[in-house]
Amino acid sequence: MLDYLRKRFTSHIRGRSRRRARLVSKDGRCNIEFGNVEQSRFVFLIDIWTTILDLRWRYKMTIFISAFLGSWFLFGLLWYVVAYIHKDLPEFNPSINHTPCVENINGLTSAFLFSLETQVTIGYGFRCVTEQCATAIFLLIFQSILGVIINSFMCGAILAKISRSKNRAKTITFSKNAVISKRGGKLCLLIRVANLRKSLLIGSHIYGKLLKTTITPEGETIILDQVNIEFVVDAGNENLFFISPLTIYHIIDKNSPFFHMAAETILQQDFELVVFLDGTVEATSATCQVRTSYIPEEVLWGYRFAPIVSKTKEGKYRVDFQNFSKTVAVETPHCAFCLYNEKEAKAKEKKGYDNPGFVLSEVSETSDTKM
């Protein structure tokens, strides 16, 4: 009993360590960190639009609020300075015939309110600029132009953040596990993918990358070496009719990196299978990429996916997502090499072979018999 618990605990710790080391999480986020970057972080300000779009919502809303409040307060100070220089404030005791630059600015608070009214074009009419000061007219024009720029940039950033294709990618889901079983007489690695919306992804393309550590003949160790994994769908891997869940599969042949793996050794392997789905969103025509990954513990050898699509009595097709990641054990060869050897052996049994050294010698028969 103690040995069993110790083995379970060891396998659990190993599984946790492997999960922490994965490059791509199940929801598609990349677990990578850049260090000792020689370029200054100010280079990100050159592409300020992309930088703003990549920010999280809490930082974006902080910048959004700070941009408006900061500009209102800054121009409020400038309007207060204009009124102070022109001696329009009550503490200067202006005469009855005195014409101020801005009507009804009595302090910093009223200057801030006038700045807000000017920039957002509210225009209550209680405070207004007169023709007395050219400085005030110039400041009014400058704030109006700058206000339009701030409104366009910040509102455009919020709209672009909402309509980004990342949100569409969240409605594409992959099965929790990948399975290995026979399909069409061949050993295949199968993954199920589903579109949770009725709108299609146009021009969808599915492919994969196997990430592993390799050592070259020269002795160089390459971490995260990428090997292409070709996936196939029964209807073809281009221009998928992605309205119902699809099962994509990779044929494990002699050119596959899974060819030398077996059911007993796959958990001892160190790899990460990253699957990509590229397509164009039908509603917005924006490109979209969905990705997920599988580690050896998430690849089940000798299983297939349970049926998920059925037809009701009313003639409608029903998709039961309760069975989306459910698997069923099936009889499967424990390695691809054994399957191909078995096929070759059966093929040789059906064939005949000529022996060039074989010579048929005729024997004369005698009818003499002795009694």
pLDDT in tens, 268-304: 888 999 999 888 887 777 888 889 999 999 999 999 9
Span(s) in the chain for CATH 2.60.40.1400: 168-348
Share of the chain above pLDDT 90, in %: 28
> Residue range 212-216: average pLDDT?
84
**pLDDT greater at residue 223 or residue 275:** 275
pLDDT class of 17 with cuts at 50, 70, 90: very low
Q: What is the pLDDT of residue 18?
A: 46
Average of per-residue pLDDT values in the chain? 81
Helix (H) or strand (E) holding 305: strand 303-305
pTM of this prediction? 0.68
Span(s) in the chain for CATH 1.10.287.70: 55-163
CATH 2.60.40.1400 is the classification of domain 168-348:
yes
**Among 224-238, 243-257, 275-289, which is the least confidently predicted range?**
224-238
Which of 50-64, 139-153, 267-281 has the highest mean predicted lDDT (pLDDT)? 139-153
Q: What is the pLDDT of residue 371?
A: 43
Q: Tell me the chain's radius of gyration from C-alpha atoms.
A: 37
Q: What is the pLDDT of residue 243?
A: 77
Q: What is the pLDDT of residue 358?
A: 54
Express each pLDDT in 114-124 by its tens digit.
Answer: 999 999 888 77
Cα distance between residue 182 and residue 302, in whole Å? 8
- Which fold does the domain 55-163 belong to in CATH? Helix Hairpins (1.10.287)
pLDDT(198) > 80? no
Q: What is the pLDDT of residue 97?
A: 86
- Residue 245, phi-psi category: left (phi > 0), alpha (psi -120 to 50), beta (remainder): beta
